[in-house]
Amino acid sequence: MTANRILQVNAVSTLACAVGLLATRAWLPAHFGLASSGWLDVVAIGLLAYAWALFAAAARVHVDRTTLLAFTAGDVLWVMASAVVLLLGWSSLSPLARVLVIAAALAVEVFATLQWRAAGQAAQPVTA
């Protein structure tokens, strides 16, 4: 899979998560132990911005190593934040919320790994 395609798929997945958060804002916060959708709205807006950045990077003819590593770092931060949410909020999270956090973290970890590998290939000199 090319670097462009990895970023495109990551962007579509990120956009889907953002839309999902916004579409379920009436009932999802209670599963996270939240009184309102405020925090999840902030996450959704952040995901929309991240998806836009992914789409913009994927549209380039050549995705450089620095760009891939930047998105890898962003995805690793998401996975780490997910672990913190699970560790600190386990008792406040419904089983549905736990599954959503874990599933999203696993998917994001896959993107981080794919981007990391693509960055390594981008660093390789092209041989004729």
pLDDT of 122: 78
pLDDT of 127: 61
**Domain-located, residue 125:** no
Contact 3, 122 (CB under 8 A): yes
Distance CA 72, CA 59 (A): 17
Torsion of CA 55, 61, 65, 67, to 10 degrees: -30
pLDDT of 41: 98
Q: How far is CA 113 from CA 41, 65, 73, 120, 121, in A?
A: 27, 14, 10, 11, 12
pLDDT of 125: 60
**Domain-located, residue 128:** no
pLDDT of 126: 57
Q: In which domain, by residue range, is 31 found?
A: 3-118
Q: Which residues of the chain have pLDDT under 70?
A: 123-128
Contact 101, 82 (CB under 8 A): yes
Residue type, 72: T
27 — phi, psi (to 5°)?
Answer: -125, -15
Number of domains in the chain: 1
**Domain-located, residue 41:** yes
**Domain-located, residue 86:** yes
